[in-house]
Chain A
Amino acid sequence: MIHSLFLINASGDIFLEKHWKSVVSRSVCDYFFEAQERASEPENVPPVIPTPHHYLISVLRHRIYFVAVIQSEVPPLFVIEFLHRVVDTFQDYFGVCTEAAIKDNVVVVYELLEEMLDNGFPLATESNILKELIKPPTILRTMVNTITGSTNVGEQLPTGQLSVVPWRRTGVKYTNNEAYFDVVEEIDVIIDKSGSTITAEIQGVIDACVKLTGMPDLTLSFMNPRLLDDVSFHPCVRFKRWEAERILSFIPPDGNFRLLSYHVSSQNLVAIPVYVKHNITFREGSSQGRFDLTLGPKQTMGKVVESVLVSSQLPRGVLNANLNPSQGTYTFDPVTKLLSWDVGKINPQKLPSLKGTMSLQAGASKPDENPTFNIQFKIQQMAISGLKVNRLDMYGEKYKPFKGIKYMTKAGKFQVRT
Chain B
Amino acid sequence: MKEETRPCVIPGCFSARRHDDLKEMLDSNKDSLKLEAMKRIVAMIARGKNASDLFPAVVKNVACKNIEVKKLVYVYLVRYAEEQQDLALLSISTFQRGLKDPNQLIRASALRVLSSIRVTIIVPIMMLAIKEAASDMSPYVRKTAAHAIPKLYSLDPEQKDQLIEVIEKLLADKTTLVAGSVVMAFEEVCPERIDLIHKNYRKLCNLLIDVEEWGQVVIINMLTRYARTQFLNPNINVSRVQNWVYSLFRAVSLPIEQSHDAALIYTAIRKILICEVQYVVLQNVATMTIKRRGMFEPYLKSFYIRSTDPTQIKILKLEVLTNLANETNISTILREFQTYIKSMDKDFVAATIQAIGRCATNIGEVRDTCLNGLVQLLSNRDELVVAESVVVIKKLLQMQPEKHSDIIKHMAKLTDNIQVPMARASILWLIGEYCEHVPKIAPDVLRKMAKSFTNEEDIVKLQIINLAAKLYLTNSKQTKLLTQYVLNLAKYDQNYDIRDRARFIRQLIVPTEKSGALSKYAKKLFLALKPAPVLESPFKDRDHFQLGSLSHLLNAKAGGYQELPDWPEAAPDPSVRNVEVKESVRAVGTVTYRDTGSSEEEVRKPERKSKQSKSDSESESESESESESSESESEDSEDSEAELKKKKKVVSGGGGSFSTIAPSSALKSYELLHRITGEGLSVEYCFSRQPFIPDANMVAVQVHFTNNSTSDTKSLHMEDVKLQSGMRVKEFPEIELLPAGETATAVMGIDFCDSTQTANFQLKFFVSIQPPVGELMRPFFMTENEFKKEQGEEENCEKLTLDVKCRNEHAIVQKVTTAANLSRVPCGSDKECRFAGRTVTSSSLVLVTVATKDQGAAQLTVNCEKMVIGTMLVKDILLALTQ
Are A and B physically bound partners? yes
Instruction: Please report the C-alpha to C-alpha distance between residue A50 and residue B558 in the assembled complex, in whole angstroms.
Output: 9
Contact of A46 among B151, B279, B307, B629 (CB under 8 A): B279
A-contact 0/1 string along B175-212, CB 8 Å cutoff: 01100010010000000000000000000000001101
Nearest to B273 among chain A residues (CB) is A203
Query: Does B628 reach chain A (CB closer than 8 Å)?
Result: yes
Bound form: Cα–Cα A87–B30 in Å: 35
Q: Judge whether B342 and A239 touch: CB under 8 Å.
A: no
Note all chain B residues with C-beta closer than 8 A to A126: 212
> B636 in the interface, Cβ–Cβ < 8 Å?
no
What string of 1s and 0s marks CB contacts (under 8 Å) between B92-121 and chain A? 000000000001110010001001101000
Q: Which of A73-81, A91-99, A403-411 sits within the interface?
A: A73-81
How distant is the Cα of A106 from the Cα of B38 in the complex, in angstroms?
12
B401 within 8 A of A: no
Contact of B46 among A16, A50, A368 (CB under 8 A): A16
Q: CB distance A119 to B147 under 8 Å?
A: yes
Tell me, rounded to whole Å, the shortest Cβ–Cβ distance linking B757 to chain A: 38
Give the total of B residues in contact with A, Cβ under 8 Å.
Answer: 116
A255 to B556, CA, bound (A): 44
Q: How far is the CB of B705 from chain A (nearest CB, A)?
A: 37
Asked if A162 and B311 sit within 8 Å, CB to CB, the answer is: no
Tell me whether B549 and A110 are in contact (CB under 8 A).
no
Contact B560 A77 (CB under 8 A): no
Q: In the bound complex, what is the Cα–Cα distance between A154 and B144 (angstroms)?
A: 18
Task: Confirm or deny: A44 has a beta carbon within 8 angstroms of a beta carbon on chain B.
Answer: yes
Taking CB atoms and an 8 Å cut-off, the chain B residues in 15-70 that contact chain A are: 30-32, 35, 39, 42-43, 45-48, 66-68
Contact of A15 with B47 in the complex, beta carbons under 8 Å: yes
Q: Quick one: given A17-B48, A239-B259, are A370 and B342 in contact (CB under 8 Å)? A: yes
Which residues on the A side are within 8 Å of B556 (C-beta)? 50
A276 to chain B, nearest CB (A): 15
Inter-chain contacts of B79 with A (CB < 8 A): 19, 23
Decide if B310 touches A48 in the complex (CB within 8 Å): no
Contact of B595 among A161, A240, A370 (CB under 8 A): A240
A369 on the B face (CB < 8 A): yes
- A238 pairs with B596, CB closer than 8 A: yes
Known contacts: A44-B310, A415-B308. The answer to whether A162 contacts B560 by CB under 8 A is no
Q: Which of B1, B35, B140, B270 contacts A157 (CB 8 A)?
A: B140
**Please, which residues of chain B bring their CB within 8 A of the CB of A258?**
260
Contact code string B1-24 (vs A, CB < 8 Å = 1, else 0): 100000000000000000000000
Give every chain B residue within 8 A of A293 (Cβ-Cβ).
none
Chain A nearest Cβ from B52, distance in angstroms: 11
Question: B217 interface residue, CB < 8 Å from A?
Answer: yes
What separation, in Å, do the CA atoms of A282 and B336 have in the docked complex? Answer: 23
A316 within 8 A of B: yes
A374 touches B342 (CB 8 A): no
Q: Does A302 contact B (CB under 8 A)?
A: no
Q: Are A80 and B280 in contact (CB under 8 A)?
A: yes
Q: How far is the CB of B863 from chain A (nearest CB, A)?
A: 23
A contact residues around B403 at 8 Å (CB): none
**How many angstroms from the CA of A250 to the CA of B260 in the assembled complex?**
14
Shortest distance from the beta carbon of B274 to any chain A beta carbon, whole Å: 7
Report if A368-B380 is in contact (Cβ < 8 Å); known contacts: A119-B150, A266-B301: yes
A198 and B304 within 8 A (CB): yes
Q: Give the distance in Å from the alpha carbon of A244 to the alpha carbon of B625 in the complex.
A: 10
Are A238 and B140 neighbours in the complex by a CB distance under 8 Å?
A: no
Closest to A234 in B: B260
CB < 8 Å neighbour of A110 from B42, B48, B150, B270: B42
Kindly report which residue of chain A lies nearest to residue B284, judged by CB atoms.
A77
B550 in contact with A74 (CB, 8 Å): yes
Task: Please tell me if A144 contacts chain B, counting CB pairs below 8 Å.
Answer: no
> Distance (Å) between the CB of A15 and the closest chain B CB?
7
Residue of A nearest to B105 (CB): A157
Q: Give bound CA distance, A9 to B255, whole Å.
A: 39
**Are B35 and A244 within 8 A (Cβ)?**
no
Contact B559 A73 (CB under 8 A): yes
A40 touches B (CB below 8 Å): yes
Is B559's CB under 8 angstroms from A107's CB? no
Chain A 249-266: CB-based contact to B (< 8 A → 1; otherwise 0)? 111000000100001011
Q: Are B259 and A162 in contact (CB under 8 A)?
A: no
Q: Is the interface of B mostly helix, strand, loop or mixed?
A: helix
**Min CB gap B810→A, angstroms:** 8
Binds B, one of A163-171, A175-183, A347-355: A163-171
Across-interface contacts of A23 in B (CB, < 8 A):
79, 82
B548 close to A (CB within 8 Å): yes
Q: Is A18 among interface residues, defined by CB-CB distance under 8 A?
A: yes
The listed residue (B39, B307, B380, B551) touching A313 by CB distance below 8 A is B307
Do A151 and B550 form a contact, CB below 8 Å, given A14-B48, A81-B262, A198-B304?
Answer: no
**Are A157 and B594 in contact (CB-based, < 8 A)?**
no
The complex places the Cα of A244 from the Cα of B592 at a distance, in Å, of 15
User: Does B619 count as interface, using CB distance less than 8 angstroms?
Assistant: no
What chain A residues lie within 8 Å of B336 (beta carbons)? 198
Residue A287 CB within 8 A of the other chain = no
B67–A77 touching, CB < 8 Å: no
The answer to whether the Cβ of B599 comes within 8 Å of any Cβ in the partner chain is yes
Q: Is the CB of B342 within 8 A of A217?
A: no
A330 is an interface residue with CB less than 8 A from chain B: no
User: With the chains together, A153 CA to B31 CA distance in Å?
Assistant: 14
Q: Is the CB of A226 within 8 A of B559?
A: no
The answer to whether A73 touches B561 (Cβ under 8 A) is: yes
Alpha-carbon separation in the docked complex, A201 to B268 (Å): 14
A1: chain B residues at CB < 8 Å are 184
Residues of B within 8 A of A123 (CB): 143, 147
B331 at the interface (CB under 8 A from A): no
Which residues from A are CB-within-8-Å of B177? 161-162
CB-defined contacts of A149 to chain B, threshold 8 Å: 30-32, 35, 66
Residue of B nearest to A200 (CB): B301
Chain A, range 1-55, C-beta contacts under 8 Å to B: 1, 13-19, 21-23, 26, 40-41, 43-44, 46-48, 50, 55
Chain B CB count within 10 A is highest, among A203, A217, A240, A368, for: A240
Q: Is the CB of A199 within 8 A of B629?
A: no
- Please state if A226 and B830 are interface contacts (CB–CB under 8 Å): yes
Instruction: Evaluate contact between A146 and B32: CB separation under 8 angstroms.
Output: yes
CB contact under 8 A between A121 and B184, given known A162-B140, A203-B270: yes
Min Cβ gap B297→A in Å is 13
Q: Is the CB of B279 within 8 A of A110?
A: no
B631 within 8 A of partner (CB)? yes
B32–A75 touching, CB < 8 Å? no
Chain A CB within 8 A of B275 CB: yes
B503 to chain A, nearest CB (A): 39
Please state if A413 and B308 are interface contacts (CB–CB under 8 Å): yes
- A235 interface contact, C-beta 8 A: yes
Asked if B549 contacts A75 (CB within 8 A), the reply is: yes
Q: How far is the CB of B508 from chain A (nearest CB, A)?
A: 42
B280 and A76 contacting across the interface, CB-CB below 8 Å: yes
Interface centre among B46, B312, B599 (most CB of A within 10 A): B46
Task: Give CA–CA (A16, B45) in the complex, Å.
Answer: 9
Contacts of A119 in B (CB 8 A): 115-116, 147-148, 150-151
Determine if A131 is an interface residue (Cβ-Cβ < 8 Å): no
Give every chain B residue within 8 A of A164 (Cβ-Cβ).
176, 210, 593-594, 599
Residues in A with CB closer than 8 Å to B380 are: 368
8 A Cβ contacts from B733-765 to A: none
Q: With A22-B82, A76-B553, A372-B307 in contact, do A84 and B103 touch (Cβ < 8 Å)?
A: no
Closest 6 CB pairs of A and B: A72-B560, A151-B68, A199-B301, A73-B561, A47-B276, A157-B105
**24 residue pairs from A and B, CB less than 8 Å apart:** A44-B312, A48-B553, A59-B274, A71-B559, A75-B221, A80-B262, A80-B277, A81-B213, A81-B261, A106-B46, A110-B46, A153-B68, A155-B103, A155-B105, A157-B104, A164-B176, A165-B593, A193-B339, A198-B336, A226-B830, A232-B259, A239-B255, A239-B258, A249-B597
Excluding A76-B549, A161-B177, 17 further A-B contacts by CB distance (< 8 Å) are A14-B48, A47-B275, A48-B280, A76-B280, A76-B548, A77-B280, A107-B39, A126-B212, A151-B66, A154-B105, A162-B138, A198-B301, A201-B270, A239-B209, A250-B597, A316-B344, A368-B380
